[in-house]
Structure 1
Amino acid sequence: MRPQTTYPALLALLGLAAAEDKAATTPTTTATACTASSTSGAFYDLRPDMAVKAPKDGSKPAHNAPTVDYRARGHDYGSDFTLNICGPVVEPVDGEVHDLKEELWRNISAYYVSKGDVYSLGMQSGELITRGKELVLQYTGGSLCGKKHKSKSDRRSDGERLTSRGAVHEGAAYKDYEDDEGGSSAGNSTAVDALKKHDDDDDDVRRKSATIFFSCDKDPVATAASVAFIATDPDECNYVFKVKSQHACAGAEPHKPGSVGPGPVFLIILVIAVLVYLLGGIFYNRTVSNARGWKQLPNYSLWAGVWSFMTDLFFIALSSCARFLPSRRGYHYLAGSPSGRTRSSRDRDAENRLIDQLDEEWDD
């Protein structure tokens, strides 16, 4: 019966260990927005690159942050891009944004204007992600994209291509290979319609997004981040940008309130080592050597000699400093000074006169 009662306990211990292992391996995200820490210990803080509204009093914003949005040229894409880093765009969007409710316009972090139409590339996000040596920021939830949601110009060009294709194949005859079976033409059209329907079902609702890669800018002259447009996918759903910034260089993570830094950790280890040394030495000398009083301390003779040497140095230094203190006996004349020689000659003359006077009185 004992093995049967042991199995539930073992299963419970295994479940507890698995839960602890899962909790230990679960990735944790950085609490502070627009910051990230890599597994190698590198710390990134892009908050100084986030554009903010200029203070109304005319003062400079914190960390000398920019007050205007970033611009990126589209080059062959045909439209330029406006975006911000880790925050919504500072300047309000001019115009109606496609496929977004008006209350969401204030959270747009990237957009572009094409032929008067405004397209959002994603909403505000401050979640930086480190993948190896790459630092990535992604905006999602922009305007609709995909085959179902093409721009007006794309739809117009598609219509022209279909019209030209119909003119080319107009009057062409197609052989029905299954005419003898009956209803083959209807079956063929049904299969084509089913295939189109399948393609339409696979084309789920998709929205534009922006992926921003950050690189370290080691140029000391560069004071602000620079944004460049890289590419987009054929469906114009994901747009890729590259940002060069001095704040994208890896640095040391600042000390957080409530956390223990390297200095306190070293001090704690030192205190523990000293306590172990003292308590272990006292216990040994008291129990093995039967020492009492100060002799219980470990290496008592060594520390006593050190203390004696320090006290001797102290008294020597004290006596040396006492020589430079001013004397309390008042002013006195130096032996080599002119005033000193004059006074000594005057004293000798007075003594001679006194001696002569005493001699005369003695003779009388």
Structure 2
Amino acid sequence: MNRRSKESDSKLLLGVLTGSPLNNGKSEEQQEKNLTPKYDSKESNESNSNSNFLLADSDVIPPIKSPNLDPCTAINPLTNGFFDLRSLSSMNLNDGSVSAWNARGYDYNMNFTLGMCSSPLKKQNIQPGDFDQVTNTSLIGGFYTDQEGVKYSIGEYSTAPVFRGRKLTLTYTNGSFCEKTSTGEAWRKSTILSFTCDRELMAKAQISFVGVLHDCDYFFEVRTVHACPTAAKSDNLALVWIFLIIFLAALMVYCGAGTLYKKAILGRRGWRQLPSYSIVRNFKAAFGSNGSVSK
């Protein structure tokens, strides 16, 4: 028996003992190539592209259900902070006055008048020829006056502030008509107010004109302390009730434990077994029956 036959017999015996497949006269590289699974390149690319868009159940963010809120208030869905802008509006003014805020346009050569969740206009101040393109002037949330003295609306006010990420915004739409586009479409002016929390501002609010796009969309920044998170009124009332319940529970524990201690350990009877009886006795001894201080 030659050397090659011995090597083949030893490999055959090793394959039987280990359960590995035989080479069948093929080289190791050819065998590994045959054992490597084959995939269709088109199917693999499609599976890889589809796997990039698959999300686990834990990664899917459920839709946030906004609770029933009062007008001009909002809750940050990221921090659950409560925001109340009603102090900047004329919603709670019952004397017929309005809350109007002015912003300089600087290089735009126009000055703006804005209302927060309300209209900055009084009906008696509207002159003939103003806001010809607006059907309901009582809904105007902001306007400007051009060089000829004609007033234009930059949107109807809204009472629903919305969070865009971490920014509190208020959007006014359906203002006066903008200039017609190349396609002949007639768009209406709109406004976006972006609120920023500023606790160091001495004034109630400060409005800055940021910019305008195509003489149609206007952007403003409002810095105010009212854009800072606060507690809702219902939450304040709940905190008061919680404090009262804790105080009453502590008072009951103090009276019960003190009475039990004086009765069981000190052997006191009657009013003497009440806690702080000595304080009441000294107070009664200090003042007479007619309320005068005894010497």
In the superposition, the TM-score normalised over structure 1's length comes to 0.47
The aligned residue for residue 85 of structure 2 is 46
Matched, 1:309 2:290: no
Deviation of residue 309 (structure 1)? 3.1
In the alignment, structure 2 segments of 5+ residues that lack a partner are: 1-59, 250-256, 286-295
2:88 and 2:99 in contact (8 A); partners too: no
Structure 2 distance, partners of 1:251, 1:225, is 16
| Alpha-carbon distance, 1:206 to partner | 1.4
Structure 2 CA distance for partners of 1:310 and 1:204, relative to 1, 3 Å: farther
Q: How many equivalent pairs are there?
A: 203
Q: 2:180 touches 2:186 (CA, 8 Å); kept in 1?
A: no
Aligned to 2:48: none
Q: How far apart are residue 27 of structure 1 and its match?
A: 3.3
2:86 maps to 1:86: no
CA contact (8 A) 2:175 2:190 kept: yes
Aligned to 2:131: 97
Q: Mark the CA change 1:143 to 1:252 in structure 2 (over 3 Å): closer, same or farther.
A: same
Secondary structure at 2:268 match in 1: helix
What SS does the aligned partner of 1:145 have?
coil
**How far does residue 107 in structure 1 lie from its aligned partner after superposition?**
1.1
Deviation at 1:147, TM superposition (A): 3.0
Residues 1:110 and 2:89 aligned together? no
Question: Take 2:233 and 2:267, find their aligned partners in 1: how far apart are those partners?
Answer: 42
Could you tell me which residue of structure 2 aligns to residue 74 of structure 1?
105
User: AA paired with 1:34?
Assistant: C
Secondary structure at 1:206 match in 2: coil
Q: Which runs of 5+ in 1 are unaligned?
A: 1-21, 149-198, 272-304, 327-364
Letter paired with 2:195: F
Q: Give the CA RMSD over aligned residues.
A: 3.9
Q: Highest Rg: 1 or 2?
A: 1
2:209 to 229, 234, 249: 229
Whole-angstrom distance in 2 between the partners of 1:109 and 1:213: 15
Whole-Å Cα distance in 2 between the matches of residues 314 and 223 of structure 1?
A: 66
For the 8 Å contact 1:137–1:213, the answer to whether it is kept is yes
- 2: distance between equivalents of 1:100 and 1:323? 79
1:216 alignment counterpart: 197
- SS of the equivalent of 2:234 reads coil
Alignment of 1:1-364 (within 5 A): 25=63, 27-28=65-66, 30-39=68-77, 40-51=79-90, 67-91=98-122, 92-94=125-127, 95-101=129-135, 104-114=136-146, 115-148=148-181, 200=183, 204-219=185-200, 222-233=202-213, 235-255=214-234, 309-311=261-263, 312=265, 315=268, 318=272, 321=278
Paired letter, 1:31:
L
SS in structure 2 at match of 1:71: strand
Q: Report SS of the residue matched to 1:255.
A: helix
Structure 1 residue 209: Cα displacement:
0.4
CA pair 111-53 structure 1, distance change in 2 beyond 3 A? farther
Greater RCO (Cα-Cα under 8 Å, separation 6 or more): 1
